Structure 1
Amino acid sequence: MSGAEPLNGSEPRPIRRLQESLINRIAAGEIIHRPASALKELIENSLDAGATSIRVTVKDGGMKLLQIQDNGSGIRKTDLPILAERFTTSKLSTFSDLSRITTYGFRGEALASMSHVAHLSVVTKTSQDTCAWKATYTDGALVDPKSGQMTDPKPCAGNDGTTITIENLFYNTPTRLSALRSTSEEYARILDVVTKYAVHNPKIAFVCKKAGSASPELSTPSNSETPQTIRLLYRDSIAKELLSVKLSSKDRPSVENDEGMDVDTDDEKDDPESWQAEAHFTSPNYQGKKTVFLLFINHRLVESSRMKRALEAIYHGILPKGAAPFIYLSLQIDPRSVDVNVHPTKREVHFLNEEAITERIADALQKKLAGQSQSRAFEYQTLLTGGIVGQEPGRGKKRDAKEISRGEDEDGEAEEPVASTSTQPQPPKKTYSHHKVRTSLKDRTLDSMFPVANPQLQRGSSSGDATANETEASQVTTTSKIRDIKESECFLTSVVNLRKGPEKWKHRQLTEILKNHIFVGIVDLRRCLSLIQHSTKLYLVNHNSLAEELFYQLGLRQFGDFKKLKLEPPPPLRTLIEIAVDAEESIEQSSLSKSQIVDRIVDLLMSRRDMLAEYFSLNISESGTVNSLPLLLPDYIPNLDNLPSFLMRLGPQVDWTSEKECFDTFLRELAYFYTPGPSLSLTPAGGASEEDKTHEKAERWQIQHVVFPAMRKFLAAPKSLLDRDVVQAASLPDLYKVFERC
């Protein structure tokens, strides 16, 4: 049969040889599915280069920018011209080398594929080079980024190792680009890849951050251990329930020689079927929603549905229905028994005796779990996102009329008696103790339950100093009256669209909780944790994250009509920025000197001082002094120690090229400046001065009496706060159920 079939009786189509550019793009689509798959290839290259530190920087989910920097062996200058050509590799030279391959990469297609669907640049330096070399690639060829002509690598400054930058991924394949998910989901996939490789390589330091972000999303130290890395990257509920098993093919019966020494029945050194495995998995006490299975075979991250099902089956008789475990498995097999060349992205591998090895590993895990099943601890936590406020799990929105008439509300609590057509009066429903709710804001707070070191301080100061007022306020919680903040009139389309955002992102249930909450107390000022109560439930919240969102929304609300916070005497702008630049460690990696950076930021702010004064009440005089700042919330003063950092960040962190993005990023930076941060006085070894303690008390007072009341009145809480900043700590009815069993 011919390779080109006739269509509807027409003439057969001729067979043509595809163009080289089309072939390369098709091949690139097989290797690079999304930013996370490109990052996986780059991480493996860094590990092959012997890197001990890997730093990943991402913008827009990796589609605008994906950069990986390592301190590995680097690339020779003479190899750079063919670096991005297809099938160029240092990992093998003959087909027989595949049977002994121990490196991550071997096909030589990853960088070539990236150069065909993105803008690829490389900066690399070996330990023997006197300088680093920069090369830019398009369609596999080393070219000049401006002219597009063939060129040689350019000398530049750089450290030992390699930095690979991918920009505008899939810019020439719009179909693939449109098929990708949101930038947040793509970034989550990138974090997942980095997390898995960090778990498997605890001796290597990993950092992953968004471009422009001050702090990384993921950071691991070097020279750690696998359990410690799992504890750092995954939830504590996983880390505290971890079990470990190590086994190998030589864990089999042995015989003794004449001298009583154990002798292996097989020669393991030359046995191509030898293997060893290390597993870290959760005990029966952990109950996850979805199985987390990390599988590394010969240090390569792979997938195996058969092995996953086999290990999940161990837990079927142990965990309740719907619960799932966490399993990390590292399997090392003799390379002669592994076929790595079965998938374009090396996502799957085949190896000898797969069923037997899987069975041995499953038996070892089951034996370890059996020893733990004698002492089980049962604990649970109701997730905040599990339903509507005041609705018990398992109940629908509609209630039977007879149930309502019994005098229970949606939370099972007693209500006012419902009017009935019967002439016989109904007695009021009793409210049980576990449904009683504390509603008075004058009830005792967490701070008032601890003894005061100096009781005289509470009443003795008639001068009205801050310390006495703060200490007294910690004993009796007063209801702070937050003044109403009217929304300013603004007809700019960009601001109107930005103001629609908080209402669009608002999570109704969380907003209701914050609107009607009762402040209980600050649990940990350093970690920014506080307790609040709503109805019969207690929530642990990160007041830092909540406050940052509050101040952003207050900034939007008052755009163009801010009250002023005057600075007397007004400090010089240049001096403040110099202080911040000197303290910024990341400046060392910049190609500009500190004085050049200061000049650029100062010139930028001075050129826009009219706009800053008109829209944000940030007044900078012609002589370069900062006269006033925007006041977002009456009775709240931000920590002015952070003013130098705030002014410095306005340079690189604000998008000055677009009106909407400019207003949005500026207000985000302003909110970050206003956010109450961890107190510097909270040092591990109690060397805090009296002044530091006074500052700490003042910060506690502002959080309790200004920030939380303002949240109650103004904050439209977005759903993103539910990810890690608001957690239900306790429920009164559930606690009663636990105590009833005792």
Structure 2
Amino acid sequence: MADTDASPSEPLPIRRLQESVINRIAAGEIIHRPASALKELIENSLDAHSTSIRVTIKDGGMRLLQIQDDGCGIRKSDLPILAERFTTSKISTFSDLSKLTTYGFRGEALASISYVAEMTVTTKTKADSCAWKACYSDGALVPFKQGATAEPKATAGTDGTTITVENLFYNTPTRLSALRGSAEEYARILDVVTKYAVHNPHVAFTCRKANSNSPDVTTPSGSTVTQAIRQLYGQTIAKDLVHSVISSPNESGESDDDPTWSAEAYYTNANYHAKKTVFLLFINHRLVESTQIKKALETVYTGILPKGTSPFIYLSLQLDPRTVDVNVHPTKREVHFLDEDAIIESICDKIQQSLVAQSQSRSFEYQTLLTGGIARNNKGKGKERLLPAEEHEDTDSGSSTSVSTPATKKVPSNHKIRTSQKDRTLDSMFPVLNTSQMPNELVPDLGSQDEGTSRKTTKSRTDIPMSECYLMSVRQLREAIEAARHQQFTEILQNHIFVGIVDVSRCLSLVQNFKKLYLVNHGALAEELFYQLGLRQFGNLRRIKLDPPPPIKTLISLAVDVEEGIKKTKLNKALIIDRIVEILMEHRAMLSEYFSMNITEEGRLESIPLLLPDYTPNLDKLPLFLMRLGPQVEWTSEKGCFSTFFRELAYFYVPEPLIPENSLVEGSPTADTNEKALAWQIQHVLFPTFARYLIAPKTLLDRDVVEVANLPDLYRVFERC
């Protein structure tokens, strides 16, 4: 036995691997998880010049991953080799790699997906009279069902391509078992979609779970980068963004030895910081990662942000394709380029200069998670406001207006609640709106009753009882609202004290609860409120009568004419208008019965739903509301129809200036009256209704509420002064 161990073993024979094994090994290098598959598919859609990309996910992308675009489509003649390895329309020779301006070029993405999943492609070019559908497995066409041919078959479809990936990694159980849970994989997918939506604001992105009524990511076409960041990452980041454009010294580009480059960066200033860096890096429009660039940018913030905190950075770098090697990583996640250190240094210097200039006027603001105990402490305290020092009344002064405290226990100064009999708000520092200045339709009709009777009348007018409804879909939607309740945030709104409107156009207001002052987005709160009020009054909605009733076709035409997305797609506007009118006319009986929205047989709009007494929506938005009802409402599903209709109705009801700001002369009587009338509705109608009826979900807390002051913390600051 000892002799056997000492003797050298026989060499194993070298064999040629089977083609199927080779392909699955290669697929594992490209497709690591559902998010990496989706990244490849999104890049293909962008290469096809799509203006709309819709993603549908089931079970974290492992059961279903579908992407639909409106791009140029794929020729039928190309479908047989579509999923074969190294088939591409981007390059023909190796030298083409040095001048690439597109995303995909290896011809491995679709092939790799077909080796580890069941893939179906439905595509239509503008020249085709119908769409073509094909199924793929292991890089080749396969029959749709047993006994059928594998050839693509004709089917109904619109211009563009839809790729459906099912049962990902069904034949590689080791890779499947290595994936995280469906929730984490879906979060990775949302991260990919979000980053590409920021970099491509001209493209409309939508990402939702299968059978979900509302998308988790949605952006309109024709936006700007700032608007996309605001919608996807929140107002907290967007309001502190700094924009810089950096370019190489050699802007002429005449010298091949010194090629030009340019960069565009959006990054937060010293007022914003988070626990983890959010870094979006695109090089020549390709989403990549670079530890070197990320560390260099984080170093810039070292002396600006508190220790342990990080910024938000979006960097788009445009380089001469001749200086970039994109072929260094199978998933194109990393790239190498010339003069990397010098380019990074130039970008960091520019960002540092901008941050230093911004930090000279730094404001201090922070956001908390509103933990428990807030509503409990608020009981019995009466009205509480944060006031200037000259308005404070000390509880130890013996004044009749002070807050009484037990004589045996002295309350520390930093825990005293400052109150005032004047009940002062921000509006008290400016001329107060008289109801005579308001449009007649906005003045509450209290009749000639005395003060006590008026209060009773107002209360009765604002009572909104829950309608009786036996439809299971409506009951489920109401239960979903209750299930999403955030108890502490709801209690804050129930016990809030209105301080004032900060900015009408940006929908920002201040409210106080106990010892804390909050900046809230009353537009976001109003949208959620009106959605809940619609479901609350389902089937029993009051009406706003339109006299004379306008034709819905005329209103929809007004909205379609100014819709940027339709202009860019060059679709036939007349066909779009006719289709939307046809949809509304088909469902006018249901609209009247369930939503109090009456449309005559001649196509005239007689009434729209009234969600809240004493509140008039901006009727300038009525054409947009009608236009969105066509494509945005899920007419084929009962529950989806009710949910999406009330979402659109809530968006229509969100308070905005009655006349666009750009059409008014600043300081004119019309502009002032318009803004004051809207401010009156917000303060005296909306905020009392928030307190009474809004069930606040955590999604509002995450993005639309900022704690700007805390009395004990402020006291500690002034103690050190």
Give per-residue Cα distances to partners, 1:33-77, cap 9 Å, x unaligned. Answer: 56654454355456767x5x8543345599665334458xx8777
Q: Does 1:426 align with 2:408?
A: yes
CA deviation after TM superposition for structure 1 residue 515, in Å:
0.8
What amino acid is aligned across from residue 723 of structure 1 in structure 2? D
What amino acid is aligned across from residue 195 of structure 2 in structure 1? V
Q: Does 1:589 align with 2:586?
A: no
Please name the residue that 1:450 is paired with. 430
Q: Does 1:302 align with 2:288?
A: yes
Q: Does 1:665 align with 2:654?
A: no
CA deviation after TM superposition for structure 1 residue 739, in Å:
5.5
Q: Does 1:521 align with 2:500?
A: yes
Please name the residue that 1:56 is paired with. 53
Please name the residue that 1:387 is paired with. 371
Structure 2 matches for 1:87-236, cutoff 5 A? 87-93=86-92, 104-113=103-112, 117-124=118-125, 134-139=131-136, 149-151=150-152, 163-167=160-164, 170=167, 179-181=181-183, 185=187, 188-195=190-197, 197-198=199-200, 205-209=202-206, 217=219, 235-236=237-238
| SS of equivalent to 2:482 | helix
CA deviation after TM superposition for structure 1 residue 667, in Å:
3.1
Aligned partners of 2:269, 2:431: CA distance in 1, in Å? 42
Please name the residue that 1:264 is paired with. none
Aligned partners of 2:228, 2:610: CA distance in 1, in Å? 43
Please name the residue that 1:85 is paired with. 84
Answer whether contact 1:132 1:156 (CA < 8 A) is retained.
Answer: no
* 281-290 vs 708-717, which moves further: 281-290
Q: Does 1:345 align with 2:331?
A: yes
The 3 A distance-change label for structure 1 pair 19 and 311 is same
What amino acid is aligned across from residue 503 of structure 2 in structure 1? D
| SS of equivalent to 1:387 | coil
Answer whether contact 2:131 2:158 (CA < 8 A) is retained.
Answer: no
Answer whether contact 1:577 1:647 (CA < 8 A) is retained.
Answer: no
Give per-residue Cα distances to partners, 1:200-249, cap 9 Å, x unaligned. Answer: xxxx9444346999996265668xxx999989987346533x6776679x
The 3 A distance-change label for structure 1 pair 243 and 557 is closer
CA deviation after TM superposition for structure 1 residue 343, in Å:
3.3
What amino acid is aligned across from residue 307 of structure 2 in structure 1? K
Aligned partners of 2:133, 2:583: CA distance in 1, in Å? 28
Aligned partners of 1:34, 1:57: CA distance in 2, in Å? 19
What amino acid is aligned across from residue 417 of structure 2 in structure 1? K
Structure 2 matches for 1:256-275, cutoff 5 A? 269=256
Unpaired stretches in structure 2, ≥5 consecutive residues: 1-14, 376-394, 397-401, 446-450
| SS of equivalent to 2:517 | strand
Please name the residue that 1:537 is paired with. 516
Answer whether contact 2:70 2:161 (CA < 8 A) is retained.
Answer: yes
The 3 A distance-change label for structure 1 pair 173 and 664 is farther
Answer whether contact 1:237 1:286 (CA < 8 A) is retained.
Answer: no
What amino acid is aligned across from residue 383 of structure 1 in structure 2? Q
Answer whether contact 2:507 2:523 (CA < 8 A) is retained.
Answer: yes
Q: Does 1:567 align with 2:542?
A: no
Please name the residue that 1:323 is paired with. 309
| SS of equivalent to 1:703 | helix
Answer whether contact 2:205 2:219 (CA < 8 A) is retained.
Answer: yes
Please name the residue that 1:288 is paired with. 273
| SS of equivalent to 2:707 | strand
Give per-residue Cα distances to partners, 1:146-200, cap 9 Å, x unaligned. Answer: 9875248999996xxxx433346558959869954379736632443315634xx
CA deviation after TM superposition for structure 1 residue 721, in Å:
0.9
Structure 2 matches for 1:32-43, cutoff 5 A? 32=31, 36-38=35-37, 40-42=39-41
Over the matched positions of the two proteins, sequence identity in percent amounts to 47
Aligned partners of 2:664, 2:284: CA distance in 1, in Å? 45
The 3 A distance-change label for structure 1 pair 64 and 661 is farther
The 3 A distance-change label for structure 1 pair 500 and 93 is same
Structure 2 matches for 1:359-508, cutoff 5 A? 361=344, 365=348, 369=352, 379-385=363-369, 387-388=371-372, 390=374, 426-429=408-411, 431=413, 435-438=416-419, 443-451=423-431, 481=459, 483-508=462-487
The 3 A distance-change label for structure 1 pair 218 and 653 is closer
The 3 A distance-change label for structure 1 pair 519 and 57 is same
| SS of equivalent to 2:531 | helix
The 3 A distance-change label for structure 1 pair 683 and 372 is closer
The 3 A distance-change label for structure 1 pair 520 and 106 is same
Aligned partners of 1:445, 1:702: CA distance in 2, in Å? 16
Answer whether contact 1:120 1:166 (CA < 8 A) is retained.
Answer: yes
2:532 to 550, 553, 558: 553
Answer whether contact 2:74 2:161 (CA < 8 A) is retained.
Answer: no
CA deviation after TM superposition for structure 1 residue 427, in Å:
5.0
The 3 A distance-change label for structure 1 pair 173 and 713 is farther
* 657-666 vs 359-368, which moves further: 359-368
Aligned partners of 1:229, 1:543: CA distance in 2, in Å? 20
2:582 to 592, 599, 616: 599
Aligned partners of 1:136, 1:553: CA distance in 2, in Å? 42
Structure 2 matches for 1:610-621, cutoff 5 A? 613=593, 615-618=594-597
The 3 A distance-change label for structure 1 pair 380 and 582 is closer
What amino acid is aligned across from residue 382 of structure 1 in structure 2? Y
| SS of equivalent to 1:67 | strand
What amino acid is aligned across from residue 459 of structure 2 in structure 1? K
| SS of equivalent to 1:723 | helix
Answer whether contact 1:281 1:328 (CA < 8 A) is retained.
Answer: yes
Aligned partners of 2:294, 2:244: CA distance in 1, in Å? 17
Answer whether contact 1:277 1:331 (CA < 8 A) is retained.
Answer: yes
Aligned partners of 1:231, 1:715: CA distance in 2, in Å? 24
The 3 A distance-change label for structure 1 pair 75 and 654 is closer
Structure 2 matches for 1:612-631, cutoff 5 A? 613=593, 615-618=594-597, 630-631=609-610
| SS of equivalent to 1:589 | coil
CA deviation after TM superposition for structure 1 residue 660, in Å:
2.9
Unpaired stretches in structure 1, ≥5 consecutive residues: 1-14, 199-203, 251-266, 392-406, 409-413, 419-424, 471-475
What amino acid is aligned across from residue 436 of structure 1 in structure 2? I
CA deviation after TM superposition for structure 1 residue 122, in Å:
3.4
Aligned partners of 1:639, 1:102: CA distance in 2, in Å? 45
Normalised by the size of structure 1, how large is the TM-score? 0.68
2:488 to 509, 512, 519: 509
The 3 A distance-change label for structure 1 pair 301 and 660 is closer
Answer whether contact 1:388 1:509 (CA < 8 A) is retained.
Answer: yes
* 483-492 vs 333-342, which moves further: 333-342
The 3 A distance-change label for structure 1 pair 33 and 380 is farther
Aligned partners of 1:276, 1:569: CA distance in 2, in Å? 60
CA deviation after TM superposition for structure 1 residue 362, in Å:
5.7
| SS of equivalent to 2:408 | coil
Answer whether contact 2:527 2:654 (CA < 8 A) is retained.
Answer: yes
Aligned partners of 1:668, 1:113: CA distance in 2, in Å? 40
Please name the residue that 1:653 is paired with. 632
| SS of equivalent to 2:411 | coil
CA deviation after TM superposition for structure 1 residue 579, in Å:
2.4
Give per-residue Cα distances to partners, 1:459-479, cap 9 Å, x unaligned. Answer: xx9xx9567879xxxxx9x98
Tell me the C-alpha RMSD between the 2 structures. 5.5
| SS of equivalent to 2:632 | coil
Normalised by the size of structure 2, how large is the TM-score? 0.69
What amino acid is aligned across from residue 185 of structure 1 in structure 2? A
